[in-house]
Structure 1
């Protein structure tokens, strides 16, 4: 067989990786960024599913458990069961005999000069310590009976606040509210800032000058004064208020996008699009904005914690989230007022906020390194 007749084996073409795939591979090698991404995913999932799965609603008030410390043991403690039963029966105005506790069952001997009204068990049912209250072993004349009740074992792993609400349930709801506010305000800032900055940078000239002077004027406004005006106009509506806050936070985004657009507008692919007759709006939408997504994605991860801190500051001043909803800023504000007598009210929300902010910042650093063109 001659050389020309030998079969030729064609190799399969080697598929390359896009710039985004290369950036994701570098991000996956960053352990701090991936750990932060995992923490954020766990916190987000817990804030979404936790309030529905946790046994204590975030707004449920336990009047007998006001500012109880965090504990892995079930409440109530044994020394509280008998006094609480006696206190509840005293409201019913009956004579109280022996009160005994056997496991999770409480038995109290009661008597009265008149036949005992079965409705008196409501006084015991109102207590958070007891459940399944019933009258047993009633005498023939109905003047004496044995009241039985089950001890309601409750766990407060992070303690309760000054109103008797489970702190862990409120932290879960606070993370949900803070993340929602951060993402909502960041989305508004993203839409306005990218559109404004890309348009100003690409058109240039007098249009750029006028648009950026408007940004400078908005920069000069006192932020707290502007927020107070927003509260006056929008009231206590949480969504509208923080959409408006996001409409202020777009200023930095606009400047970043404008700077990137100025460096992109004279690149060869933009000039080729202009030569082919593509409109200015089409060039901005299809060529400028997709090429600034790297810096924008990095800045978004830094803007979310900035907005969360801003919300915490406003809630600390009483201008943010209102009861019965809560946020990390509200919880920290309440904890600061009770720092000496109930330190857990400040410690646990502060840990949640610090963990959230650290994770977002580490993720932002990882994205910055992964999207840096110098490392490609």
Structure 2
């Protein structure tokens, strides 16, 4: 008699749950505006970091012959400038100038002198930004006549040049790097101070909370511009000062937000359980309070970065920003405003770059707010 085999039933694997952060990330990815803004912001940040190393024009290189030239996809110099510029360069060498002709990207000029021509006169031509590799050819037997040959230096300025003859696109790349760095570093300073201060005040409560928040109120009453001017007077204008000054003020809002969240969290069951188990106050704040306030903090950070960038732009517009030859978007916009009538591109392109950064950060902030909103879960 055979024993009937029992049917084998396959158990379905238990579905793995998602954490709140994984669920928020999934909903953030569905937000097309936020993801597009994130891509735009990453591309601009990467271009500002890597771009200056590969761009043909250094951000601080001055082209004296190309002051305030308009943006153009065609290479400079224009054909009608080459012969007059060669003639002007040779006049400085004090030689007699004959026929000047342009053959492709090479200019030929017949020159003569009462004495033998010094080969070093080529430096007068090389000093010009329009020419390179100047040399003497077809010298006469007595050395008093020759043909000056020079290559035309073709340069492209896709965003034009500023009032000092510097490539505007290279300076915009550097300005994006400086503005984003100041925004992120100042936000990091505000994050560290504000979260620690607000969480501590909210958890301790009572008299300690009252004293700590009165300190915040006193700091709120100090004029921000006056504080920055004092720092500039004592320490001068530099990059580090900017994010320290801005971050040392912006943490006040962060502290208030974190304190409000902490007052709600400290009455939750998991905090009371930690207190019953004998966990220290510092441990509760570090392991239970701060991790649970990072959602609102992350949203506020995306709103704080554009605020800091605007503050830096405002300070640079007043002349209290970064020091030359470094630049920022505020400095470029300030310079563009002064030349708006005769060179509008000096204002348009930096303004577009700043607008793209601000729009991207605000869309990312909106996406994070929607993703972390408990009502949408």
* TM-score (structure 2 length as normaliser): 0.98
Q: Which residue of 2 aligns with 1:14?
A: 15
The question of whether the paired residues in 1 share the 8 Å contact of 2:238 and 2:323 is answered with: no
CA distance in 2: counterparts of 1:12 and 1:154, whole angstroms: 65
How far the C-alpha of 1:5 sits from its partner, in A, is 2.6
Which string of whole-angstrom CA distances, capped at 9 and with x for unpartnered residues, describes residues 28-68 of structure 1?
11011011001100000000011111000000000000000
**Is residue 234–residue 241 contact of structure 1 (8 Å, CA) maintained in 2?**
no
Q: Which runs of 5+ in 1 are unaligned?
A: none
1:67 matches 2:60: no
Query: Is contact 1:69–1:158 with CA below 8 Å preserved after alignment?
Result: yes
**Hey, what does 1:93 align to over in structure 2?**
94
Structure 1 stretches (4+) deviating beyond 3 angstroms? 1-4
Partner of 1:347: 348
Q: CA deviation at 1:4?
A: 7.7
Mapped pair 1:272 → 2:273: yes
TM-aligned CA deviation for residue 104 of structure 1: 0.3
Partners of 1:248 and 1:155 in 2: CA distance:
43
Shift of 1:241: 3.6
SS in structure 1 opposite 2:259? helix
Deviates further, 226-235 or 108-117: 226-235
Q: Would the aligned equivalents of 2:242 and 2:312 in 1 still touch at CA under 8 Å? A: no
RMSD: 1.1
> 3-state DSSP class of the match of 2:249?
coil
Aligned to 1:78: 79
**Partner residue of 2:233?**
232
CA distance 1:194–1:93, shift in 2 (3 Å): same
CA distance in 1, matches of 2:71, 2:194: 44
- Unpaired runs of 5+ residues, structure 2, are none
Measured after TM superposition, the shift of residue 2 of structure 1 is 7.3
Q: How many residues align?
A: 376
Q: Is the 8 A contact 2:242 2:322 kept in 1?
A: no
Q: Matches of 2:204 and 2:340 in 1, distance apart?
A: 55
Relative to structure 1, the CA distance from residue 24 to residue 135 in structure 2 (aligned partners, 3 Å threshold; closer, same or farther) is same
Query: Contact conserved, 1:230 with 1:241, CA < 8 A, in 2?
Result: no
Which has the higher mean CA deviation after the structures are superposed, 232-241 or 303-312?
232-241
Which residue of the partner structure matches residue 34 of structure 2?
Answer: 33
TM-score (norm 1): 0.98
The whole-number CA distance in structure 2 between the counterparts of 1:234 and 1:300 is: 28
Q: Is the 8 A contact 1:261 1:292 kept in 2?
A: yes
